[in-house]
Amino acid sequence: MKKILMTGAIALTLSLGACDSYLDINDSPNSPSVDKLSADLIFPGAEMAYANVYGDYLAVTGGYFAQYYSQYFGTSNYMDYSQFKQAATKSSRAYTQLTSNALQNMKTVLEKATAEEAWGTYLAATVIRVAAFQALVDCYGAVPYSEALDINNATPKYDDGKDVYAGLVKELDEAMAKVSGTETVCTNFLLPNKPAAEWVKLANALKLRLLMRECGAVNVQSELAALVAEDNFPAGDVAWAGCWKDELGQANPFFTEDNYASYGGSQKNMILNLAVLATMNAADDARLEAFFDPNIEKKEYQGGVSGTNFGTSTTYRANYWCRPHKEFDSPVYFITRAEVEFFLAEYEARYGSMANAEAHYKSAIEASFATAGVDGADRVLTVYPFDSANWQKSIGVQKWVALSGVNPFEGYCELRRLKYPAFGSVTGDDLYNLLTTTYTPSLLEPGTLYTPIDVNTSLGNNKLLQRWPYPEASANRNSNVPDYPGDGTPIFWAE
C-alpha cells in the first residue's frame, strides 16, 4: 500500500513514524524538535495517515471480504483476500501506519492541546484517535489500548474489544464536554475552518456508530436514547474531499493503490463482484453507474466471482470486467448521512417505532442516492421495501449496497454484525467451473452472498472471515499477545 506524500510540514509529520524516532530528529529549522511543532503542523499529517489506511488498505480488504470486489483477470495480488484469507504479515504495515503515524502523533496533539487549553483541537484529535482505535478493534478484536503508545512499554497488554469500545465512548464524551462549540480547531483537511460545533456533530456520529455496533452485545440503550434524542449529527456526508491532487502519492489513496495508468502503472486488481451486481441489478439501481465503471468490451456490467481470476478463460478476459469508479480527487468518506440514517433506522427498529424505522430506512436510501449523485431511490424502495418483520435483513442488505461505493470497510463490519446479506444456496464453484470455464451468473439469487472458490479452509462454506490474525508488527515483539481465537470467531459485537 502506498503512503500519502504531502509537502512541507505535513510531510514532516507523516515521515516521523514512531515516537522514538520523532524525538531523535535534529533541532534545526528543517527538522524542529517536538516542542517546537505546533498542533497545526502535526495534526494534518496524523489525520492523513489515518485517511490513507482507512481509504486504501481497509477499503481494499473490506471490499473483498464483503464481496464488493473480486479479482481482475490474470492477476493474483489479492487472490487471498478474494478467498477470505488474511495473514498476520499482510496487515502489519497498515497497523504500523495507524499506531505510529496516526495515533502516536495524535497523542502529541492531545498533549499540546491540553497544555494550551485548545479544546476544539483536543476534540478533533480525539475523533481521529477514536476512529483509529475502533478500526483496530473491528479488525483484530483485542488490541493494545490502555497501555498503548507508551514508548517505554514494549509489551503493552491487549485489551478486550468490549473494554476498548467502552473507553472510546468515554473519550468522546469527555472531549465533547470540554467545548462550547465556538472554539477554533487547528489546521485540518476533514473539516477545514469549521468550529468545534461541527466536530461535536461528527463526534456524535462516531459515537452512534460505536454504540450501535456494540448494542447487540452490551446494554447501551440508555446512552443511545440520549444521543438520538439530542439529534445533533452532521446534516450531510463528512469526507476528506478537495485535498487530493492529480500527482503520484497525493491522489486519493485507493485510486493510487491500484496503479492506475495516470501514473505510469499497469497493475489492476479489483473488479465488480457478482454478489453486489446481482443485488443492484434486481432493482435497476442507478448507483451501480456511480460506484463502478462499465466494462471496456461492451460498455455493460458484468460481475466476477470471488476466489478466481478467470486466468484460464479465453472468453472472460480483462475487458469483460468492471472496475470500481474512482478518480484522483474522489472523497475518502469518514461517515455518510446514509450511514447515520441506517443506524437510526436500526435504533428505532430495536427500541422505538417501526414507523420511524421505516422512515429512516427510506431516508437512508435517499441519502445514499444523493451521495452517488443519481436518481432512482423509489425503484429500490419498491423492490426492497422495509420489512418490519425482518428489519435486520432489510437494513442489512441495503446498508451493504449503500456502503459498497463509499466505505467498503464499514460495509464489511456491518455485514458481519447484521449478518445480511446471508449466504445463498449456490457456491462460487457453482457459478464458475474452473475446468470447463463455464460461467453461470444467473444462478445467484439477488441479495445473497456465496462461498468463494478455493475458500479459506479454516472457515469452510457459507462463512465470513470474522477477524484478522494479530499483526506481525505487534505480535512478534509483544509477549502479551493473546492466543488467536481463529478466523471464524466473531468480534464481540458480532457474536
At residue 455, the pLDDT reads 98
**Pairing mode, strands 448-451 and 422-427:** parallel
**What pLDDT score was predicted for residue 64?**
98
Residue 160 contacts by C-beta under 8 Å, 6 or more apart in sequence? 141, 142, 492
pLDDT of residue 329: 96
Q: Please name which of 402, 307, 302, 303 lies closest in space to residue 362, comparing C-alpha atoms.
A: 402
Summarize pLDDT for 426-450 with one digit per residue, the tens: 999 999 999 999 999 999 999 999 9
Q: Specify which residues 143 forms β-bridges with.
A: 159
Mean pLDDT value across residues 85-108: 96
- For residue 262, what pLDDT is reported? 73
Give the containing element (helix H, strand E) for 238.
strand 238-240
How far is it, in rounded angstroms, from Cα 420 to Cα 403? 13
What is the reported pLDDT for 259?
66
pLDDT digits (tens, 9 = 90+) for 285-300: 999 999 999 999 999 9
Computed over every residue of the chain, the mean pLDDT equals 92
3-state SS of 127-174 is: HHHHHHHHHHHHHHCCEECCCCCCCCCCCCCEECHHHHHHHHHHHHHH
The C-alpha atoms of residue 391 and residue 490 are separated, in whole angstroms, by: 22
pLDDT beyond 90 at 354: yes
- Tell me: pLDDT of 41 over 80: yes
Radius of gyration of the chain (CA): 22
CA–CA separation, 142 and 351 (whole Å): 29
pLDDT band, very low/low/confident/very high, at 32 (cuts 50, 70, 90): low
| Contact present, 408 and 443 (Cβ < 8 Å) | no
Q: How confident is the model at residue 36 (pLDDT cuts 50, 70, 90)?
A: confident
pLDDT in tens, 241-266: 999 999 988 999 999 888 667 777 77
Whether 25 has a pLDDT exceeding 60, the answer reads no
pLDDT score, position 34: 63
pLDDT score of 11 more than 90 = no
pLDDT above 50: residue 7: no
Q: How far apart are CA 100 and CA 96, in angstroms?
A: 6
Q: Which pLDDT value is given to residue 425? A: 97
Q: Is the pLDDT of residue 27 over 70?
A: no
**pLDDT (mean) for 28-55:** 82
pLDDT for position 51: 98
pTM above 0.85, yes or no: yes
